[in-house]
Amino acid sequence: MSTKNKRRKRKLNPFRLVLFLIILFVLISAGAAMGIMVISIKELPAFNEKNLIPSTSTQIFDSNENLVTKIGLENRTEVSIGNVPDHVKDAFLAAEDHLFYDHHGIRIKAIIRAAMNDALHIVGVDRNFQGGSTITQQLVKLSFLSPERSIKRKIQEVILSFKMERRYSKDEILEMYLNRIYLGEGAYGIQAAAQTYFGRDTEDLSVAQAALLAGLTKSPNNYSPYRDPELAVTRRNQVLDDMYRYHFIDSPTYQEAKSEKLALKQGGPSNTRYPYPYFMDFITDQLVDMFGDEKVFNGGLRVYTTLDPEIQSYAEKAMANPANFPASQKDAQGVLQPQGAIVIMDPSTGEIKALVGGREHTHKRALNRATMSPRQPGSAIKPILAYGPAIELMGMGPASVIDDAPVTYHQYNDYSPHNYDGRYRGLITMRTALTHSVNVVAVKLLMDHVTIPEAVKFAARLNINLKPTGPAMALGGLSRGVTPMELTAAYAAFANHGIYNKPVSILRVEDQDGTTLFEAEPAPRKVMKETTAYLITDMLKSVVRSGTGTGAQIGRPAAGKTGTTDEGKDIWFAGYTPDLVGVVWIGYDSPTKMPRSYGGTYPAKIWREVMRQAHRNITPRDFTEPPGIVTATVDSKSGLLPGPNTPQEHLVTDIFAAGTVPTETDNVHVLTEVCATMGYLPNQYCPDRITRVMLKLPYTVAPSVEDYNQRVPTKICDVHGPQDLIGTGTGDGDNRPLPVDININKPDKNNDETVFENIFQGE
**Residues designated catalytic:** 96, 379
HEC secondary structure over 97-139: CCCCCCCCCCCHHHHHHHHHHHHHHHCCCCCCCCCCCCHHHHH
With contact defined as beta carbons under 8 Å apart, do 142 and 96 qualify? Answer: no
Compute CA distances 325 → 276, 318, 606, whole Å: 21, 10, 9
Q: How far apart are CA 558 and CA 496, in angstroms?
A: 13
> At residue 102, what are phi and psi to the nearest 5 degrees?
-110, -20
> At residue 653, what are phi and psi to the nearest 5 degrees?
-105, 130
Please give the DSSP secondary-structure letter assigned to residue 380: G
With contact defined as beta carbons under 8 Å apart, do 725 and 738 qualify? Answer: yes
- For residue 322, whether the previous peptide bond is cis, meaning omega lies within 30 degrees of 0, is no
Q: How far apart are CA 268 and CA 255, in angstroms?
A: 27
Compute CA distances 87 → 211, 263, 577, whole Å: 9, 19, 60
The helix or strand, by DSSP H or E, that contains position 250, with its residue range, turns out to be none
User: How buried is residue 570: exposed, middle or buried, by Cβ count under 10 Å (0-12/13-18/19+)?
Assistant: buried
Please give the DSSP secondary-structure letter assigned to residue 478: -
Please give the DSSP secondary-structure letter assigned to residue 423: -
**602: phi > 0 → left, psi -120 to 50 → alpha, else beta; which?**
alpha
With contact defined as beta carbons under 8 Å apart, do 390 and 429 qualify? Answer: no
Q: Report the C-alpha dihedral over residues 496, 499, 502, 503, rounded to 10 degrees.
A: 0
Give the bridge partners for 519, in sequence order. 508
With contact defined as beta carbons under 8 Å apart, do 87 and 108 qualify? Answer: no
Give the bridge partners for 339, in sequence order. 587
Q: Count CB-CB contacts under 10 A for residue 743.
A: 11
HEC secondary structure over 613-664: HHCCCCCCCCCCCCCCEEEEEEECCCCCECCCCCCHHHEEEEEEECCCCCCC
